[in-house]
Amino acid sequence: MNAIRDKLYDKLSSLFSDSQAPKEALDRESPTIKCTEDEKSQSSVLAFFLPSASPNWLKQNSPTNEVQSPRSDSFKWRSRSFSLKDKPLDRPMENDDRYGTKEDIWLHEENEKHSSASGHLENGEPGSGTSTSGSSDVFEDFMTPHTFEKPMPGLMEESLFITPDLYRFFEASLPNIVRGCQWVLMYSTVRDGISLQTLFRKSNGATGPCLLITGDKKGAVLGGLIECPLKPTAKRKYQGTNQSFVFTTLYGEPRIFRPTGANRYFYLCLHDSLALGGGANFALFLNEDLLTGRSGPCETFGNLCLAHDEEFELKNVELWGFTHSSQYLH
């Protein structure tokens, strides 16, 4: 087979020898002249029949000035050697503006491999590119923005007792005259000190219903709606209107006890005590020191005991007023 190929090569070489001689002379006189179209066609014919011999023939017949230095099939980057023979065949190997140089394409693929490996190692999930390392080469998860609605928009200050559920309960239970109003903390034992006289004085800034809230040490929240300002009297004289009520959270959920019509003992304000309801017992009684209280069934509201025990220790006291304005004098 090799002998046949050599004979065919000799015949083809002698066939084109006559046309090559004038061109070689012309190349010696003008070394900068490029190969003609005939030479290119001869190269194509020889390359078709003798592919293994075509590189040598092209080297012998190319003008010396036109032969370029061979391109390297390897390169170095960051002290590492890379061989282009390992590149995938479906990517372009020549310089192309769409892809860049060989080195650029190779570096791009190396970065992709590195990013994919980082996703596997950091997340433990195949195909995940999410990372918490802060690298700009990978994607970061972001939280979907949420709009947070204030759960108790009417409260101008924080309360130790009022939860969002209890707030919604009061909003549905309060008289129409104060529904939708802003809640203003008139008095708080945490902020203003433990004093019944201070509570009376702070209530002077309100004209209308106010919500008295307290609690026992076992977790019950209780109180009632009374008319303000509170004006203590020397003798037992009941005050208030039939808008008054008492409430408690003792029985699983907030529960309101409204006037039964049996009497008009809505609330009693004395210099040394404050009481809601009347009859055989007070629905809620607060001592002057605001440290202890009492509760029992009464005819005014037809209520049960509002606290865990009839006598209990108070867990703070708050008095809330209502206004349509953001400014409230107290």
Q: So where are the chain's domains? A: 2-66, 74-123, 164-323
Q: What is the mean pLDDT of residues 167-191?
A: 94
Using alpha carbons only, give the angle 230, 185, 274 rounded to the nearest 5 degrees. 30
Among residues 32, 320, 293, the alpha carbon closest in space to that of 155 is found at 320
Residue 247 contacts residue 257 (beta carbons within 8 Å): yes
pLDDT value for 153: 86
Say whether pLDDT at 8 is over 60: yes
User: Mean pLDDT, the chain, as a whole number?
Assistant: 74
DSSP symbol at 148: P
Inter-residue contact 274 to 267 (CB < 8 Å): yes
- pLDDT class for 126, splitting at 50, 70, 90? very low
Strand partners, 317: 214
Burial class (CB in 10 A: 0-12, 13-18, 19+), 288: middle
Task: For the chain, give the number of residues.
Answer: 330
Stronger pLDDT, 22 or 325, i.e. the higher one: 325
The share of the chain scoring above pLDDT 70, in percent, equals 53
Contacts of 79 (CB under 8 A, 6+ apart): none
Residue 156: predicted pLDDT: 84
| Residue 67 confidence (pLDDT) | 44
Residue 298: band (very low, low, confident or very high) from pLDDT cuts 50, 70, 90: very high
Q: Provide the pLDDT for residue 292.
A: 96
Distance CA 184, CA 206 (A): 10
At 16, the pLDDT band (50, 70, 90 cuts) reads: low
Instruction: State pLDDT tens for residues 88-115.
Output: 444 444 444 554 555 566 666 766 665 5
> Is 170:249 a contact under the CB 8 Å cutoff?
no
Give the per-residue pLDDT at 137: 41
Q: Residues 139-175: pLDDT tens digits?
A: 334 344 444 456 888 888 999 999 999 999 999 999 9
Tokens representing residue 72 in the block: 């390297």
The yes-or-no verdict on residue 27 having pLDDT over 70 is: no
The least confident of 28-37, 214-223, 259-268 is: 28-37
Alpha-helical regions (H) of the chain: 2-29, 37-49, 54-61, 102-123, 164-173, 189-192, 196-202
> What's the distance, CA 225 to chain centroid?
41
224-260 residue pLDDT tens = 999 999 999 999 999 999 999 999 999 989 999 999 9
Q: Residue 306 pLDDT more than 80?
A: yes
- Type of residue numbered 76: K
Chain mean position to CA 9? 76
